[in-house]
Structures are given as structure tokens and as C-alpha cells.
Amino acid sequence: MSKTQAKPLAEQLANILTVQGARDAEVGAAILKAGKAAASMLEHCKTAAAMAAKQLNPEQELPARIKAVTDLYAADFATAGHNVRALFVDALTLHAAASTPVTVDLMVKGKKEETHTTAAFAATMPKHAMRDAASQVRAAHGMGRKAGGGRKVTPSTPAVPQGNVVRSEIDAFSAWLDELPKYLGDSVYHPRIVAALIEAGYSLNKAAKGVRVRGKAAA
């Protein structure tokens, strides 16, 4: 191969190496455009859900209430796509159960913080927090489990009292307390326990790993 023939090949190799080792502005622009489109889609879904919330029928059970409104726009979702429908339904679910207490993680000054709020306010939050809150609402109202949820708890059946023996209030409480760790570890019951405590003015936080807290029985 002559030097004249080799020169164009060397230049081609140099061009290939340059392209592989440098940022392509067109690729970067496409990525940024995709990011903006995703953010825009979320905001449009939130806006649509907030408007559609006015069509929710408070006389219906929560699942039926949400489905009735979602079905009105079935043709629109068929064109817009599954992701749009999923975001819309999550946002609409939060509006439909506006007063339900939820707990979400938000980034505050670069740190993740647990935030207690209501479903209605969670509808204005970032995508991850909004979807997590919607899952909690569904779990609290028996509409399904949170994504990735564990096995549903099957509480042990209490022994049938013999004769005239009646289980005392203390015995009943003790039996419930024995089952509590199972309920707290279940994806369906845990959000409901947390929601009930928040509504009563309390909060539930998991102890640090390795730390065991023991309570003292009242006299």
C-alpha cells in the first residue's frame, strides 16, 4: 500500500477516535430534549388530573370514583400512551383521597427527609414522591399493594375460649401486640398503621439497625 493510499485511512481512523472520545452536541441536545419532554409530560398529567378531579363523584367508592373519570378519557390515553395514563391515574388518586395522610421522602438541602403530609399536597410533588404517595393511598384504601410489596400477612387465629372463659381486654391487647411486627412488615397494613397514627397526632419511625427498644408494662 502506498503512502498516498495510507494517508486517507489514517485520517479516517483519527476521525473515528475523535468522535468516540468526544461529546456529540446533537446527542446531548437530544438527551436534554427528552428530559424536558418527560418533565413537561408530568406537569401536563398533573394539570389534567387536577381539572378532572372536579368530575369525581364523592358518592362512589374510591376505586369506582377514579375508574369512572379515567374511563371518560380512554380514547385519549390510547393515543397518548400508557405512561401518560399511569401518571394521570396516580395524580387523580391523590385528588380523590385528598385528606388521606401519606409519608414521602423529599430532598431538603441535599438530604433525604421523611415528610408527613396529605394526599392532596402530594399531588404537587415530584414524580417519585407523587407515585409513592399514590401507592400508599391505594394500600390504605384496600386498592392493591405498593409496588414491590411483600407477602400479605395472615394473622394467626386466636384460640377458641373454652366454656365460660372470656378473653380479657389485656389478653386481647397482648395477642394484637404479638402480631404487630407482622403487620408493620406488610406492605398493605404498614401504610394504614402509619396513617392512623398520624391522624391521631403520632409518628412512627423505625429504630436504627441493631437498636432494640423495650417498653415497660404499666402497673
Q: What is the pLDDT of residues 41-91, one digit of tens each?
A: 999 999 999 999 999 999 999 999 999 999 999 999 999 988 899 999 999
When pLDDT is averaged across residues 111-121 and rounded to a whole number, the result is 89
Q: What is the pLDDT of residue 45?
A: 94
- Note whether residue 10 is domain-resident: no
Alpha-helix runs per DSSP H in the chain: 3-20, 25-52, 62-72, 74-80, 82-96, 119-122, 127-140, 169-184, 189-199
Q: Are 97 and 137 in contact (CB under 8 A)?
A: yes
The lowest-confidence range among 9-13, 33-37, 202-206 is 9-13
Which of 182, 72, 68, 86 lies closest to 135, judged by CA?
86
Categorize the per-residue pLDDT at 107 as very low, low, confident or very high, splitting at 50, 70 and 90.
Answer: confident
- Note whether residue 74 is domain-resident: yes
- Note whether residue 88 is domain-resident: yes
Q: Are 119 and 46 in contact (CB under 8 A)?
A: no
When pLDDT is averaged across residues 95-117 and rounded to a whole number, the result is 87
Q: Which amino acid is at 196?
A: A
Q: What is the pLDDT of residue 11?
A: 67
Distinct helix (H) and strand (E) counts, the chain: 9, 2
Q: Report whether pLDDT(162) > 50.
A: no
Q: What is the pLDDT of residue 181?
A: 75
Q: Report whether pLDDT(120) > 50.
A: yes
Q: Are 116 and 152 in contact (CB under 8 A)?
A: no
- Note whether residue 180 is domain-resident: yes
- Note whether residue 26 is domain-resident: no
Q: How far is residue 92's CA from residue 123's CA, in Å, rounded to a whole number?
A: 8
- Domains identified in the chain, total number: 1
Q: How far is residue 138's CA from residue 93's CA, in Å, rounded to a whole number?
A: 8
Q: What is the pLDDT of residue 53?
A: 94
pLDDT digits (tens, 9 = 90+) for 131-140: 999 999 999 8
Cell numbers that stand for 74 in this block: 380512554
Q: Which residue has the cell 394473622?
A: 155
Categorize the per-residue pLDDT at 98 as very low, low, confident or very high, splitting at 50, 70 and 90.
Answer: very high
- Note whether residue 95 is domain-resident: yes
- Note whether residue 20 is domain-resident: no
Q: Report whether pLDDT(6) > 80.
A: no
Q: What is the pLDDT of residue 125?
A: 92
- Note whether residue 91 is domain-resident: yes
Residue 72: domain span: 36-156+169-199
Q: What is the pLDDT of residue 218?
A: 45
When pLDDT is averaged across residues 95-114 and rounded to a whole number, the result is 87
Q: What is the pLDDT of residue 217?
A: 45
